[in-house]
A and B are shown apart, each in its own frame.
Chain A
């Protein structure tokens, strides 16, 4: 285990320990008795879930069972839906995200999101990545930040000669990697991914899965997917949802090969869903 000193970032400087992903990791996000509803329609029922730090946690289950709603609850993106109600606590490093004095904007600076359909801004590639850091007063070398982020997203080599071109000229897979780079530029601790590959072709999907594997060293990733094989390939922990209930949660290996619940076994062996 190594301790490394960090160079000053835009917000301050402390030290932080790198942890190998195979070690027992502390939870960074925690859901306690969380129920989520749109108006009278409850879509997530009393869920207890812990997301360990710097791991990849997959949330799987048949479509329409509340996975995306739960994911969006982690960075308060559900706030934009008027009838949305939540019960229970969602803790980030021990702080309740839904406490009355918490600013959702602050939440989203630490917990980023990548969407199902790539949604780059209709601006240049550089502007896409640099917009939010600049807005939040980034004092360092912005071009370097853009380059670093694009490298982390495995996109740099493909776009380094056309940074000023419009992001809309990229292919679907490239756009999604740009969205990942954009999220990374904010240096979040957690990245939430809502079916990030479902709109992409298999080759792009494979590239992004490789990317996730690298990203996990520094970021906590929560990925919703209804592609079971993807979850098995990529994640360290898996949570299986059905009809808004958390059926089973454990290490991915165990959930897929020796599930505790019958429903889990039925789903992962393809008997339904």
Chain B
């Protein structure tokens, strides 16, 4: 093997080690990126801090007990009362109503998409759901006020212009894509082997779906419901426009109510000066809202994570 003189000879050996300026710039870049990532934590802490600090000013004047369990919410009218239950009740009414709409349609759509739909049908339904999910809430509020409410009034003439039912219906429409998508994903995640097992035993598709697949996907399905409900709780504009602004403790869907979120908007529109009781109520109600949604989201995400880990 004779070396060829025409070969371009190899690079001479170079000593290892030694610092380069790339070290410094690498570290700087990593620091900047880390700072951006940490912003997420900073935001969470800020939200928590702001809510807690400002609402503690509120709870210096009003006892937590009275707030959580009082049944009259009248922070601005004499005689004042700071029981938040009417607002919670209003939110509850919306949640139940929207669940009545979103759960059946969402679950059925999820099952239909994953088990029965042809690719062509999927091509229509999935984009539809995406569009429904992308429509801003204010549009739904408008739709509720100008279309749904007259419809309800045609059937139940005693319905007020502002009523809970109309808002609940559109909130249901708003969250049903979320339910449908998560259910669709959860059901698809169930391995084919389980279905084959069911079919091989001579069951109809309904039986396999209802008794094998959906139970296997159950935690994913439940997580979907919880996330959707959490979204309904946080929903603001649709209820603000359609459900009205009278805080009352009632289960009648045909009358006007006020949710926690709608109350906050009401105060926000009024531009209350800092330090007033009005201003502080924003944070008291806000901290309650934040706590509820945080817990629900946390639980739902944990369940979803465990579900995914099981099947992937």
Contact = CB atoms under 8 A, between A and B. Distances in A.
**In the complex, are there CB atoms of A and B closer than 8 Å?**
yes
Interface of A: 2, 4, 6-7, 9, 11-16, 18, 20-22, 92-93, 95, 97, 99, 101-103, 105-107, 110, 148, 187-189, 217-219
Given A20-B2, A21-B1, A105-B22, A217 B7 contact: yes
A106 B7 contact: no
Interface stretch (B11-19, B79-87, B239-247): B11-19
A11 B1 contact: no
Contacts of B11: 6, 9, 11, 187-189
Nearest to B26: A105
B32 interface: no
B9 A95 contact: no
Interface in B3-37: 3-5, 7-20, 22-23
6 contacts: A6-B10, A9-B11, A93-B13, A95-B15, A103-B19, A110-B13
A219 B9 CA distance: 10
Contacts of B22: 105
A219 B17 contact: no
Contact of B5 (A2, A12, A102): A2
Given A20-B3, A21-B1, A22-B1, A101 B10 contact: no
B17 A11 contact: no
B4 A217 contact: yes
B21 to A, nearest CB: 11
Contacts of A20: 1-3
Interface residues of B, number: 21
B14 A103 contact: no
Given A13-B12, A95-B16, 9 more contacts: A4-B5, A6-B8, A7-B8, A18-B3, A102-B16, A103-B18, A106-B18, A189-B13, A219-B10
Nearest to B12: A14
A269 to B, nearest CB: 29
Contacts of A107: 16
Contacts of B14: 11-12, 110
Contacts of B10: 6, 16, 187, 189, 218-219
A148 B8 CA distance: 9
Which of A97, A148, A189, A219 has most chain B Cβ within 10 Å? A189
A104 to B, nearest CB: 10
A257 B3 CA distance: 28
A217 B10 CA distance: 9
B157 to A, nearest CB: 66
B29 to A, nearest CB: 14
Contacts of A102: 16-17
A106 B16 contact: yes
Q: Give me the 4 closest cross-chain CB pairs, A-B, nearest first.
A: A18-B3, A14-B12, A187-B11, A6-B9
Contact of B12 (A16, A21, A97, A148): A16
Contacts of A93: 13
B279 to A, nearest CB: 50
A6 B8 CA distance: 7
B160 to A, nearest CB: 61
Contact of B3 (A2, A95, A106): A2
A106 B19 CA distance: 10
Contacts of A9: 11
A95 B12 contact: no
A110 B11 CA distance: 10
A63 to B, nearest CB: 26
Nearest to A2: B3
A188 B19 CA distance: 19
A162 B301 CA distance: 50
Given A20-B2, A93-B13, A217-B3, A103 B20 contact: yes
Given A22-B1, A103-B23, A218 B9 contact: yes
Contacts of B7: 18, 217-218
A15 B2 CA distance: 18
B69 to A, nearest CB: 51
Contacts of A101: 17
Contact of A103 (B1, B4, B13, B17): B17
Contacts of A21: 1
A135 B17 CA distance: 19
Nearest to B11: A187
Contacts of A219: 10
Contacts of A105: 22
A4 B12 CA distance: 12
Contacts of A18: 3, 7, 9
Nearest to A106: B16
Nearest to A20: B1
Interface in B178-235: none
A22 B2 CA distance: 10
B139 to A, nearest CB: 41
A11 B13 CA distance: 10
A101 B15 CA distance: 13
B8 A16 contact: no
